[in-house]
Structure 1
Amino acid sequence: MAPAELRVTSGRSARLDALPFTREHRKLLVGSGTGWALDAMDVGLISFVLAQLNVQWQATSTELSFIASSGFLGMAIGAGLGGLLADRIGRRQVFALTLLIYGLATGASALSGTIAVLIAWRFVVGLGLGAELPVASTLVSEFAPPRIRGRIIVILESFWAVGWTLAAVIGFLMVPASADGWRWALAIGAAPAVYAVVVRLGLPESVRFLESRGRHREAEATVRRFEKSAGVAAPGAEVAAQAPAPVAVVKPRVSALWSPGLRRRTGALWLVWFCVNFSYYGAFIWLPTILVASGFSLVRSFAYTLIITVAQLPGYAASAYLIERWGRRRTLAVFLAGSAVSAVLFGLAGDTTQVIGAGMLLSFFNLGAWGALYAVTPEIYPTGIRATGAGWAAGIGRIAAILAPLAVPLLRDMGGTGLLFAVFAAFFVVAALGAFGLPEKQGEALED
Structure 2
Amino acid sequence: MTTHLIDDSPLTRYHKKLIVACSGGPFLDGYLLSIVGVALAGASADLDLDASTLGFAGAVSLVGLFFGSLIFGPVTDRIGRRVMYTADLLVMILASVACLWIDTGWQLIALRFVIGAAVGADYPIATSLLTEWIPKKSRGAIIGLLSVVWLVGAVVAYLVGFALTSVYGPESWRWMLASGAVFGVIVLLLRMGAHESPRWLVAKGRLEEAREHVSDVLGRNVTLEEIATLAADEDSPGPGRFTELLRGDYLRRVVFCGLFWMCFAIPQFALFTYGPIILSHMGFSGDGASETLGQIILNLGFVLGALPGMRWVETRGRRPLILGSFFFGALALVPLGVWPGAPSWFVMVFFFLFTLINSAGNILVFIYPNELFPTQIRASAVGLATAISRVGAAVGTFLVPVSLDTLGTGTTMLIGAAITLLGFVISFFWAEETRNQSLASAAQTTATPADLPIGTTLTGPNGAS
**TM-score w.r.t. length of structure 2:** 0.87
Per-residue CA shift, 1:321-359, capped at 9, x if unaligned? 100111112111211222212222344352221222222
- 1:234 paired to 2:221: yes
- Residue type of the alignment partner of 2:322: L
Bigger mean CA deviation after superposition, 93-102 or 54-63? 54-63
| Counterpart mapping for 1:294-373 below 5 A | 294=282, 295-347=285-337, 348=339, 350-373=342-365
| Correspondence for 2:432 among 424, 439, 447 | 439
Q: Please name the residue that 1:82 is paired with.
A: 72
Whole-angstrom distance in 2 between the partners of 1:391 and 1:317? 25
SS of the aligned residue for 1:250 comes to coil
- 1:224 paired to 2:212: no
Q: Please name the residue that 1:129 is paired with.
A: 119
| Correspondence for 1:191 among 172, 182, 204 | 182
Contact 2:329 2:357 (8 Å CA) reproduced? yes
Per-residue CA shift, 1:92-149, capped at 9, x if unaligned? 2223121111221122123210111111111111110111123222211111111221
RMSD: 2.3
Whole-angstrom distance in 1 between the partners of 2:197 and 2:38? 37
Whole-angstrom distance in 1 between the partners of 2:120 and 2:236? 29
Q: Please name the residue that 1:5 is paired with.
A: none
Q: Please name the residue that 2:205 is paired with.
A: 214
| Counterpart mapping for 1:116-155 below 5 A | 116-155=106-145
| Correspondence for 2:164 among 157, 160, 174 | 174
| Correspondence for 1:49 among 33, 36, 39 | 39
Contact 2:84 2:125 (8 Å CA) reproduced? yes
Structure 1 unaligned spans of 5+ = 1-10
Whole-angstrom distance in 1 between the partners of 2:163 and 2:378? 40
Whole-angstrom distance in 2 between the partners of 1:136 and 1:240? 23
Bigger mean CA deviation after superposition, 281-290 or 174-183? 174-183
Change (3 A) 1:205 1:410: same
Change (3 A) 1:303 1:56: farther
Q: CA deviation at 1:238?
A: 6.0
Task: Tell me: higher relative CO, structure 1 or 2? Use CA pairs within 8 A at least 6 residues apart.
Answer: 1
- Residue type of the alignment partner of 2:418: A
SS of the aligned residue for 1:180 comes to helix
Whole-angstrom distance in 1 between the partners of 2:300 and 2:120? 24
- Residue type of the alignment partner of 1:268: F
Bigger mean CA deviation after superposition, 129-138 or 315-324? 129-138
Q: Please name the residue that 1:264 is paired with.
A: 252
Per-residue CA shift, 1:247-277, capped at 9, x if unaligned? 3453444321133332322232222123222
SS of the aligned residue for 2:324 comes to helix
- Residue type of the alignment partner of 1:25: H
Q: Please name the residue that 2:383 is paired with.
A: 391
Bigger mean CA deviation after superposition, 58-67 or 297-306? 58-67
Q: Please name the residue that 1:403 is paired with.
A: 395
Change (3 A) 1:352 1:86: same
- Residue type of the alignment partner of 1:203: A
Q: CA deviation at 1:199?
A: 5.1
Contact 2:199 2:231 (8 Å CA) reproduced? no
Q: Please name the residue that 1:6 is paired with.
A: none
Per-residue CA shift, 1:197-254, capped at 9, x if unaligned? 42552322211111122322321122112322xxxx5345765689954934534443
- Residue type of the alignment partner of 2:253: R
Count of residues paired in the alignment:
433
**TM-score w.r.t. length of structure 1:** 0.90
Change (3 A) 1:240 1:435: closer
- Residue type of the alignment partner of 1:278: I
Change (3 A) 1:141 1:244: closer
SS of the aligned residue for 2:235 comes to strand
Q: Please name the residue that 2:419 is paired with.
A: 427
Contact 2:42 2:171 (8 Å CA) reproduced? no
Contact 1:16 1:145 (8 Å CA) reproduced? yes
Q: Please name the residue that 2:458 is paired with.
A: none
| Correspondence for 1:160 among 143, 146, 150 | 150
- 1:67 paired to 2:57: yes
Structure 2 unaligned spans of 5+ = 444-465
Whole-angstrom distance in 1 between the partners of 2:179 and 2:113? 18
Whole-angstrom distance in 1 between the partners of 2:397 and 2:68? 19
- 1:275 paired to 2:268: no
Whole-angstrom distance in 1 between the partners of 2:407 and 2:225? 70
Whole-angstrom distance in 1 between the partners of 2:10 and 2:180? 35
Contact 1:175 1:185 (8 Å CA) reproduced? no
- 1:376 paired to 2:385: no
Q: CA deviation at 1:187?
A: 1.7
Contact 1:103 1:189 (8 Å CA) reproduced? yes
- Residue type of the alignment partner of 2:244: A
What percent identity do the matched residue pairs reach? Answer: 28
